[in-house]
Each structure stands twice: as C-alpha cells, then as structure tokens.
Amino acid sequence: MLLLGPLSLAQTERRCFPEAGPEITACIEGRLRDFWEKQGSLSVFGYPLNEATQTQGVTTQLFERARLEYHTANNPPYDLLLGRLGADLLSKKGKQPAKETTPQEGCLFFAETKQNLCPPFLPLWQSTGLELGEPGVSQAESLALFGLPLTPAQQEVLSDGQTYTVQWFERARFEDHGEKGILLGLLGKEMGSLNPGGFIKAEGSRLIYQGNSIQLKGVNYYPKGRPWMEMWSNWKGKLIEQELTLAKAQLGINSVRILLPYSIRGLADMGKVNKGLLKELREMLQIAGNLDLRLIITLFDFYEDFPEQGSKDEWQNLNYLNALIGPFVNDERILAWDIHNEPDHYDLWNEGKAARVQTWLGRMADRVHQLDPNHLVTVGMGKSPNLWQPGPDGRSALDYSDLISVHIYNAADAERQIYELRMKVNKPILIEEFGWPTGPRCAVKGYTEEAQEKAYQTLLPAVEGQVVGVFAWTLRDYEPGPTLRWDSHEEHYGLFRPDDTLKPAALVFQAFGSSPLTNGTKTNLPLTSDGAGPPRGWAAPKFIPESGYYVKGWFRRAWELFGGRNGFGLPLSEAFTRKEDGRVVQYFEAAVLEFHPEGAGGPTFPTLDPLQQTMRMISFQDIGSNFAANRGFTPGGHKLAAEFSPFYAGAYGPWRLGEPSSDLLTEEINGGAKSVQYFQRGRLELNPTSKAIQYGLLGTWAWQNQCQATDQPLGSP
C-alpha cells in the first residue's frame, strides 16, 4: 500500500452512476468520493464495483482499476491508502515479477525492480499521477498512482481473448490497444471476479490456494501487555483487532500464528474446553478472517506431560481435541493446526525420553487428521534435526506433518538448515519462528535493534524461494511495566515497539513478498473483554514518572518501606531477568537490588512483619566495594565513621550497606567537598554545610558500566 497525501474536506453526499447502469449500481461518498473526484475519477479509477465496506475501522471500496482504503483509526496522512492491486492480481494469477534487466536507451530505468519503462507506455506514466502539490506531474506523483514497474512490456492474452502488449505495475496494468491508445487495465474488475475463500492445501513442496502457489508472511502474536497465558485469561478482543489491523496495513502480512495453552484457568482444564474459550477463538477467527488473514493455531502450549498411550491423561488429550477442533472443521480461516510448540525443548525430551514425546505427537497428529481432513497439520520443532528423528514406530515429524515447521534463531545458519531439510522431505517448509531480541536495554550484549535488523537482513534473503513462508517472532514488544511479569529478552522480539512505532527490522520484513489471501467467511460477533483488570495491591506496578520506569513486587515494597527515592534513588531500569544466572535485578541511582524468591521459604516467613520479609526477599549488589576497589582502597579493617553511625543504624545498615570498605574520606562531589565513606553496597555522603546525610549515586556508575559492557548507550526508557 502507498501512503497518500491528506484529503481536503470530504464530500458528504452520495454520488451514484445511473448512466452506467444496470451493471454499475454502487455509489461513492465521504472521503472516498472526495479522493476519487480530485485524483482522476473515471479515467484513473473507473466506476465503483461495490459499496464501501467497513471492517475493523477500515473502509474499503473496489473500483474497476483500483482499490481505495480509508483507515479511520489512522491520523492523516496515514488514513487513505491505495491498494497494490497490480502486484496482488499478478500474484493471484500465479505469475511472478519478471527477471532483472539492465537500463535501455530512451527508457526510464527503476533500480528498485530492475525494470525499464519505455515508449509507448512511458509518456502516459510521466504525464499522469496523483496531485500531491508538486509542479506539473512529478515522478513521485506518477509513482504514487501507478507504483513501480514489475514486468517489462510483454505480450499477453487479456479477458477479451485478444493479445495485447501490456506492462504490469504495483497498482496498475498498462495496455496498448492500438488505435484506441494506451488504457489502464480493469484490475479491480478482474480481482472481483476471482472467488474468495477456500482451504489451503499442500502439493509437493508448495502450498496451493485457488489453484496457485502461495507465499506466507506472518507473525507470531500476543497482544500488547498480554503475552503467554494472559492473552486468553485476560481477553481483549478490540485490542487484538486494532493491533492486527495495524500489522496488516504496515507489514503486509497474510497470516498469524497464535498459541493456545492446554490449561487456562476458567477456560480449559484437564481436557475440558469451556464455552468461553470457544467464544474467544471465534472472535480471533473473526478478527483474522475479516482482515483476510489465515491462522495457525498451536495446541497443547505449555503442556509437558506427553502421556503414554491408553492412559487417562491421553484420554483427556483426545477429548480436548474433539471439543476444540470439531466446531472449526469447515472454517477456511484456519490455515493449520500445530500440535505442539517446541516439544523438543521440554524436560522429557532432554532427559532421554524423546521417544515418548514422539509417539505422543504422532498419535495426536493422527487424531487431528481424523477429525479434520480440511486443514493442514504441523509440529513446530525447536531444532531442525529433531524433525527427522524417528520414533519407536519408525515415523518422524516429517511423516505426520503436512506442513514442515522449523524454528530458526541463528540467522546465519538458516540457509544450511533449510537445504538440509529439503534433502530429506518434499513437503512445504515453513519457518514458523525466527527473530532476535532488542532488549532489555543494557542487559545483554547484542540485544539491540541494530542486531535484530541484521538478523532479518541475513535470514530473509537466504530463504526466499526455498520456503513457503516465514513467521516473525513476534509482532510486538510486551510492556513489562504495568504487569507483574519481570522484564526479559522474551519481551523484546517485536517488530513494533510498545508505542506502536516500527523498529528497523520491520522495514526489512515489509519488503518480503506474500500472496494475497481472501476469506469467504465473514462474521460480525461482538468483540469482548474478559478477565481481571490491572494488578492491584502492594505488589502492583507503581510508575515513577521522574524516571519513566516502574517498581513492582518486592522491589516496590522495598522502595516504599526504605525511603523510596531517598533510600535508593530513581529507578534506572525495569526489574529484569539477568541472563547469566536467572536472577531478577533492578538498577537504581544509589543501589542495585536483587530479588531472592527463596527467601520466602520456611514456616516462619508468614509470621514476619513486612520489613523483615522484605529484607529476606531483597538484597543489594556490592557496588560500593567494587567502586572502592577501583579507587585502590584495600578491603577490610575499616571502622564505621562516627559521623555516619546513627544514620547507619537507622537505615538497617548491615542489610542495606554492609561492612565499611573505606575509612572516612573527603571527596569532591558535584563541585563541593563532602565527607564520605564507602560500604560494600553503597556510599554515604555528608554535606558539611547542611549536615544532611544521603546515599551516593553509585548505582548510576554501576548502570554505566553495565551499558558499556553491552555496547549500548544509556538512552532513556
């Protein structure tokens, strides 16, 4: 889609075309009418072929030569989009853009598509364009209307059975009709005549839709602030609709993968599927279907039992499949059922019991095939060699999968893995997960937006033409602040930042091709919101506006009980999971706090008061002794200075500060001399004028070191 300039005040009255009846009965109005009349009307767009339809805030209308889309949720100039009808129809007909050519004399060469635009089509292209306020007709205005050329001028038989010289563009087709001149092809009319909907099938190494090979481009999806289990237990239908509408418009996706936990409180438990879960699935299918997206639904997520054949647990598994799959057997909006997400990453597989997992996968895949002959079945393995590892019955995932799904997070190795897989199977291969995290900031070296962009730039060209599609992990980052989750790299794989802006990798993903898909099934169910609201109580996230970060859980309790900004300084980060040891830490200006969940152990913990509990759950890093060591101070043998003794005692010094790491010193701090003393976990400072004692900002020094170690700027939240 192409971004167009803002519209002036729109016509409010409907305009119909009785002169074109009885074939043309549709009318135009509002912003679409205004744009149609000011940007070329009949000669450019042709007559409307249907009434404008509105789905998820997008008003769409198909014309004989174009498709106009008005996105009411977007701010100008992002609200009026012109569909890439030429590219869509070319793909839908099973044709690919032509091979690259070299510049020709007397022609206009487009480096982006390596195509020439020559007479007799060149004069029309140069003299016609959208009115964007530039003098005459600029190249930008011609591009805005027609887009880039996708093929050279070539002979083609059109719908009237005659052969013409034509050239395809992103948004148009030029046709040389001899004495009648150069005409624009009726692409909208041709697109409208194609039947929407239908199931996607596997044929050899290809995916087939309406008789044509297709390319998938999708995202793994959880909504903003609601990843993992929370997507289902805190269902937000309208939010999901907004986010997927944005993803379709800005990334050009045609498919989405969702992961469905086997057990969800109140919705699914021990093989029993609640009506509430089916309601949410129907809403999800409606949202995707009305956007012409297809769904991969992953089953048994977070399930690690993989029970033996004939057991009670397996009986519950089969009942679950019966209840979940039965209602959707004839639903074309589903692309595939994915039996399990990365079963080879669970303990049972890695404890030498892979055979038990494999036989369970095979039995579940067989049951899904029995229940649903219309949809593809796949298994999303975490490591590609495990796809062809045979189980006790001699079958591997390659045997019982219609679509071979592999997860690749080593972009540089993607080409080799796909080649190796292709040597073993002649079925469609899908990269069901790939990506790279961009945070938490300063937590891990290499977790940056630049590294993510490079991963996309490496993987996508390497696998193009070798796979039937790619699914990015994930659509968006998940805000760690207003939830009880700790921040980790899992929150930062998104192509969208939490504020809905695109990361650089998203632009690389945009350019990856996909086939237009349609859904004949459209529904209009009310979109609901279920589940609990934001967390409440003493552990709930508390936003600190001066820094832009949150304190939550035991970090918040420590903040509130031990002086807040006076005790720790402002937070410099969210509480995040340290990759090296899995410990949750949070940096503050004057301290670095660590969370110790093991502190809650023992029968006496519930009897302790909040202060005592907090001192068991929270500890401090030795930033004071580390800083002192850098200054050349020798540890040990130092006494608590009398000036700081009362403050030390009142501040729970042994817990908060630890042992002294220096004697009393005089240092220049922020332009003034102060009496200071270093401790294991911080520094105390005495203002000689006011006699006020405060904590030194050694947490800022520790955070600077952390960011330097990961080659990342300090930045801002």
**What average pLDDT does the chain have?**
90
Highest mean pLDDT among 419-428, 507-516, 683-692: 419-428
At 78, is the pLDDT very low, low, confident or very high (cuts 50, 70, 90)? low
For residues 52-79, average pLDDT: 76
Stretch 295-312: mean pLDDT: 95
286 and 351 co-located in one domain: yes
Find, among 81, 84, 64, the residue nearest to 72 by Cα. Answer: 81
**Per-residue pLDDT at 77:** 54
Average pLDDT, integer, range 184-204: 82
Asked whether residue 78 falls in the same domain as residue 146, the answer is no
Question: Tens digit of pLDDT for each residue in 590-608?
Answer: 999 999 999 999 899 999 9
Which of 592, 621, 650 corresponds to the end of one domain?
621
Domain identity same for 613 and 633:
no
pLDDT: which is higher, 106 or 157: 106
Q: Are residues 630 and 603 in the same domain?
A: no
- Is residue 716 over pLDDT 50? no
User: What is the structure's pLDDT at 4?
Assistant: 41
* H helix or E strand, kind and range, residue 544: strand 542-544
pTM here is 0.73
Burial of 264 (0-12, 13-18, 19+ CB in 10 A): buried
Distance of CA 88 to the CA centre of its chain: 24
| In a shared domain, residues 152 and 255 | no
Q: Report how many helices (DSSP H) and strands (DSSP E) the chain contains, helices first.
A: 23, 36
Does residue 6 have a pLDDT over 60?
A: no
The pLDDT of residue 486 is 93
Q: Which of 143-157, 315-329, 518-532, 650-664 has the lowest mean pLDDT?
A: 518-532
The radius of gyration of the chain from alpha carbons, rounded to an integer in Å, stands at 31
Residues 612 and 656 in one domain: no
pLDDT value for 99? 74
Based on the domain organization, do 43 and 185 belong to the same domain? no
Query: pLDDT value at position 9?
Result: 40
Lowest-pLDDT range, 126-135, 465-474, 673-682?
126-135
Q: Percent of the chain, pLDDT > 90? A: 66
pLDDT at 300 over 50: yes
Q: What is the pLDDT of residue 23?
A: 74
CATH number reported for the structural domain that contains residue 361 in this entry: 3.20.20.80
Question: Does residue 599 sit in the same domain as residue 632?
Answer: no
Which pair of structure tokens corresponds to residue 160?
A: 């009237």
Instruction: Give domain status of residue 246, yes or no.
Output: yes
Establish if 79 belongs to a structural domain: yes
Q: How confident is the model at residue 195 (pLDDT cuts 50, 70, 90)?
A: low
Both 552 and 657 in one domain: the answer is: no
Confidence class for position 123, pLDDT limits 50, 70, 90: very high
| 715 occurs within a structural domain | no
- Long-range contacts of range 679-682, CB-CB < 8 Å, 24 or more positions apart? 679/624, 679/625, 679/653, 680/622, 680/624, 680/625, 681/591, 681/620, 681/621, 681/622, 681/623, 681/624, 681/625, 681/656, 681/657, 682/590, 682/591, 682/620, 682/623, 682/624, 682/656, 682/657
Q: What is the DSSP letter of 349?
A: I
Domain count, the chain: 5
Among 598, 621, 644, the domain boundary falls at 621
447 and 429: one domain? Answer: yes
Q: What is the 3-state secondary structure (H, E, C) of 182-240?
A: EEECCHHHHHHHCCCCCCCEEECCEEEECCEECCEEEEECCCCCCCCCHHHHCCEHHHH
In a domain, 98, yes or no: no
DSSP lists the bridge partners of residue 294 as 255
In a domain, 198, yes or no: no
Whether residue 692 is predicted with pLDDT greater than 60 in this model: the reply is: yes
> Do the domain assignments include residue 308?
yes
How far apart are the C-alpha atoms of 343 and 301, rounded to whole Å?
Answer: 9
Q: Which pLDDT does position 700 carry in this prediction?
A: 95
Q: Which residue is it, tokens 């003299």?
A: 127
Strands (E) located in 16-121 = 28-29, 53-55, 58-62, 67-71, 80-82, 108-110, 115-117
Residue 375 falls inside a structural domain: yes
Q: How far apart are CA 413 and CA 407, in angstroms?
A: 12
Query: Which residues neighbour 364 within 8 Å (Cβ) at sequence distance 6 or greater?
Result: 299, 300, 317, 321, 339, 340
Residues 390 and 321 in one domain: yes
Residue 690 has pLDDT above 90, yes or no: no
Domain that holds residue 155: 108-193
Residue 307 lies in a domain: yes
* Domain end call among 457, 486, 510: 510
Asked whether the beta carbons of 358 and 389 are under 8 A apart, the reply is: yes
Residues 597 and 500 in one domain: no
